[in-house]
């Protein structure tokens, strides 16, 4: 009888061992998938920031052309915030940000033509990246 208990105990231990190995493999695969997703998001972040910046400048420009300067200010502020996370091409980003600031200042004073001119310059800088 003792031999039967031993064989049964060994079978149970093998099942537990296989279950534990499967569990740990699943956890490690899940963790590596999360790490890869985070890395992909980090790589995509500058592109998203650039696209977001361009989108806000274009929306601000449209509002300036309609003489809705309050809405333009919101978009231009958002454009400046999103441009802060753009990496690479620091000089071009600086020039684009400077033009955005100038366009925002002109929009605050109601000078729509000058504002539109500066915002078009900013778009040119950001689209060249």
Per residue in 81-118, pLDDT (tens digit) is: 999 888 878 999 999 999 999 999 999 999 999 999 99
* Domain boundary assignment for the chain: 2-127
- 10 Å CB burial of residue 129 (0-12, 13-18, 19+) is middle
Contacts (Cβ under 8 Å, ≥6 apart) of 114: 103, 106
pLDDT in tens, 46-94: 567 889 999 999 999 999 999 999 999 999 999 999 998 888 789 999 9
**Superfamily (CATH) of domain 2-127:** IL-4 antagonist (De novo design) like domain (1.20.120.660)
pLDDT at 45 > cutoff 60: no
């Amino acid at each position: 009888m003792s031999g039967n208990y031993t064989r049964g105990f060994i079978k149970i231990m093998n099942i537990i061992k296989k279950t534990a190995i499967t569990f740990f493999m699943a956890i490690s695969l899940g963790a590596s998938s999360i790490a890869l997703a985070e890395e992909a998001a980090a790589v995509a972040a500058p592109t998203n920031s650039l696209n977001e910046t361009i989108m806000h400048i274009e929306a601000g420009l449209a509002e300036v052309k309609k003489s809705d300067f309050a809405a333009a200010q919101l978009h231009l502020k958002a454009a400046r915030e999103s441009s802060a996370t753009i990496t690479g091409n620091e000089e071009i980003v600086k020039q684009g940000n400077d033009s955005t600031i100038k366009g925002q200042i002109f929009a605050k004073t109601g000078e729509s033509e000058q504002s539109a001119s500066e915002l078009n310059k900013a778009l040119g800088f950001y689209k060249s990246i």
